[in-house]
Amino acid sequence: MPIDQNSPLWAVLADWIKILLTLPDPPPDQLVQLNDIAILTAVTALTERLSAEAGTELRQLLPSVVARMQRAA
């Protein structure tokens, strides 16, 4: 589902990216899952801005990435 270009969700996404960039690597244990969710949310939203080919390819890869993360958790 594409996010409207004028949506306030872009500001929220930008805030999450700022938070992610300021976290230590690796993040503290209590933030690991939240970190992963924020990253996947950012990647998913940004795929809407890619070319059709690149966005489609990345969206096809996301389910396998999510599945691997769930197995690792």
Share of the chain above pLDDT 90, in %: 0
Domain count, the chain: 1
Determine the average pLDDT of the residues in 44-70.
78
pLDDT at 60 over 80: yes
DSSP character string of 31-64 = GHHHHHHHHHHHHHHHHTTS-HHHHHHHHHHHHH
Does residue 1 lie in a domain region?
no
Does residue 37 lie in a domain region?
yes
pLDDT at 1 over 60: no
Does residue 28 lie in a domain region?
yes
Does residue 31 lie in a domain region?
yes
Does residue 39 lie in a domain region?
yes
Does residue 30 lie in a domain region?
yes
Does residue 2 lie in a domain region?
no
Spatial distance between the Cα atoms of 29 and 48, rounded to a whole number of angstroms: 30
How much is the pTM? 0.47
Does residue 45 lie in a domain region?
yes
- pLDDT at 2 (0 to 100): 62
Determine the average pLDDT of the residues in 14-33.
77
Task: Tell me the residue range of the domain where 13 lies.
Answer: 9-72
